[in-house]
Amino acid sequence: MNEIQITGGLLLAGILFTLGLVGVLIRRNIIFMLVCVEIMLNAAGLAFIVAGSKWAQPDGQVMFIFILTMAAAEVSVGLALILQIHHQLKTLDGDAANTMKG
């Protein structure tokens, strides 16, 4: 019973991580890229939770809280950069950011 839940949880985490990775690679809109990175971070957090439950250790939950904190900081910095790119270039296309200097 416990083995099925671990396999299912890790499979779901792998699928979510793959979807996020594909989204980052094929999307051009910076906001969608940021959302896909968040999906990848949540998939990693799910894998930590599942692994922590397998060994009955709270380390997985602690790592998930750390990942949530890091994701919140990443979103705040990412949204600030997106606003600045939109202000400078009037677009959210990730390829247009290559024209920036510095």
pLDDT for the residue 4: 61
Quote the CA–CA distance of 57 and 59 in Å, as a whole number: 5
Quote the CA–CA distance of 47 and 6 in Å, as a whole number: 9
Average pLDDT over residues 19-41: 95
Task: Select the more confidently predicted residue: 3 or 61.
Answer: 61
Quick check: helix, strand or coil at residue 27? coil
Average pLDDT over residues 4-28: 93
Q: pLDDT class for 21, splitting at 50, 70, 90? A: very high
> Are 68 and 46 contacting, i.e. CB atoms less than 8 angstroms apart?
no
pLDDT for the residue 101: 75
Q: Which of 10, 88, 27 has its CA nearest to residue 99?
A: 88
- pLDDT tens, 45-82? 999 999 999 888 899 899 999 999 999 999 999 999 99
- pLDDT tens, 83-100? 998 998 888 888 888 877
Quote the CA–CA distance of 78 and 59 in Å, as a whole number: 28
pLDDT for the residue 62: 93
